[in-house]
Amino acid sequence: MAIEKKWIVKEPGNPALVRQLAADLGVDQTLANLLVQRNVRTVNEARSFLRPQLNQINDPFLMKDMDKAVERLFLALERQEKILIYGDYDVDGTTAVALVFSFLRRYGDENLDYYIPNRYAEGYGVSLKGIDWAHENGFTLIIALDCGIKAIEKVLYAKERGIEFIICDHHLPDEHLPDAAAVLDPKRIDCGYPFDDLSGCGVGFKFMQAFAYRKGIPFEELLPLLDLLAVSIASDLVSITGENRVLAYFGLKQLNQSPRKGLLSIIKLSGLEKHMITVDDIVFKIGPRLNAAGRMESGKTAVDLLTSRDDGDAKIIGDTINTHNNDRKNEDRKITQEASEMAIQSIDFIHKRSTVVYNPDWHKGVLGIVASRLVETYYRPTIVLCRSNGFITGSARSIPGFDLYEAIEKCSDLLENFGGHMYAAGLTLKEENFKEFCEKFESVVASKITDELLTPVVNIDTYLDFKQITPRFFNVLKQFQPFGPGNPSPVFISERVYDNGNGRKVGSESGHLKLELIQEDDFHRHISAIAFNRSEHFEHLKSGNPVDICYSIAENYYRGIANLQLIVKDIKLIEETI
């Protein structure tokens, strides 16, 4: 089911400003235009953008309660209290726990441990089981990372058992905060921190930065932690702007030059050892492997890996996690196929505005991934459900511009519980409410969603001719990295391009196209390109027909050698032959 995409080309930057910036920097006007489109308007702003510096990051003590957090940690270490580092089971949570644990264990391991809740037995966030475990084992301080901002009753439960919390979270708080020793969250209404889109691991890093400053520890000793922070920022899809962009930039340097043993194990298993690792490599290769531990078994395995100091241990744990990831991929592939078939066989599928599929036997740990894949295929708000602990439960994903959380909230009378945000949510309901929920959810979505929202969009920065793609052009373009939300990889249009005759289908099911493209006014120059899931255009291209393409430019590594490659986002056919 191919859905035609709408191409939207951004308004170019102010022409006079673009010309001036191009002249001042000595770069192609297309590159200057990209900078202006990103609100970079002066030479100094361009230098700060293209060459981030660590002195651009913020003072951690600007965060509300940071003084209290540092003082409470000092007191715990002075008293030799037992400290438990507690975090969520996803990549952000496990990297945050590994970061704080790695830094604090310089003061000894005997009073320090970590805890990751079980996804299935305890669910997300601070759990009563986790608090009970801490109490039984003599812990009096819990540092909660990537969770805890809404754990008001659980923090009170812990306090009654002699356990205090320091909360390091980045999720939106409710009106009231937990009664903790300190609550670090840049999204607090009363917090004046200049950047509010840190990851959970990022908040943990700022805590360690503040602690190190008060301890007189040089900032350079925090740099080995940045590989974990880069993995967190990329995997949690926070914006790669402002402070995050600086931290991700230096975190990627650490990841490429001197990664910790556990991450090196995953890098090797991902086939990235001879690559210059990017945000995309983290999102598609490193992050999913770390996530697989929590999806298929226990997130604690990921922390075991990330805190490992022995090559042999790191290899053994890495192999275990890779096995979990292979199991996850098999489940993901199988369930995606079953869910897709179920969706298109449903009554009036073609006229529906939402997709809801349910199989009691599906693996709960991969339902979010499956929902995302169905959204990619059918481009509509999607819910994928299974049975767990006597209830129907699962994950929901949305399309850009549609508030999924609000739609689910309107069906809350049929739900046991739900949570999430605009584009992703989880929900639980009784089996007897399933049919009515499906009908109500479809009705709510149909009343709110528009045809325009149901048309996928490719946002394009500018037009580009192949002759502009020179080594110098790409060397400057690389300095726009790291790419991600808020700073996406530039997307270009090139018109009337052809395959030079060497194009072929690739991939396990021949679903992708590997092309050698030439442009009409320069038949001697060809550029390699990969077009994922576009094999339906093969015969058109093979017959010598021109196409318009939109794409980003990247490096493809083969046997350790990097070559330019176009990553084709979409293809538009031009119906003619030469």
Judge if 107 and 150 occupy the same domain: yes
Give the count of beta carbons closer than 10 Å to the beta carbon of residue 245. 21
Domain CATH for 418 = 3.10.310.30
How far is residue 177's CA from residue 154's CA, in Å, rounded to a whole number? 12
Q: Is residue 231 part of a domain?
A: no
Residue 41 in contact with residue 14, Cβ under 8 Å?
no
Judge if 390 and 532 occupy the same domain: no
Q: Which residues of the chain have pLDDT under 70?
A: 1-2, 523, 575-578
Domain boundary residue, one of 173, 204, 220: 220
Judge if 528 and 559 occupy the same domain: yes
pLDDT for residue 493 = 97
Q: Is residue 38 part of a domain?
A: yes
pLDDT digits (tens, 9 = 90+) for 158-192: 999 999 999 999 988 888 999 999 999 999 999 99
E strand or H helix that includes residue 263: helix 261-269
How far is residue 253's CA from residue 274's CA, in Å, rounded to a whole number? 14
Helix (H, G, I), strand (E, B) or coil at 278: coil
Helix (H, G, I), strand (E, B) or coil at 456: coil
- Return the structure tokens found at 459: 């946002």
Judge if 406 and 481 occupy the same domain: no
Domain of residue 437, residue span: 346-448
pLDDT for residue 203 = 98
- Return the structure tokens found at 527: 């550029």
pTM over 0.85: yes
How far is residue 213's CA from residue 455's CA, in Å, rounded to a whole number? 51
CA gyration radius, the chain = 25
pLDDT for residue 578 = 46
Percent of the chain that is helix, strand, coil (3-state, to 5)? 45, 20, 35
Domain boundary residue, one of 220, 253, 273: 220
Judge if 398 and 510 occupy the same domain: no
Tell which residue, 281, 420, 434, has the closest CA to residue 356: 434
The total number of structural domains that make up the chain: 3
E strand or H helix that includes residue 275: none
How far is residue 458's CA from residue 488's CA, in Å, rounded to a whole number? 12
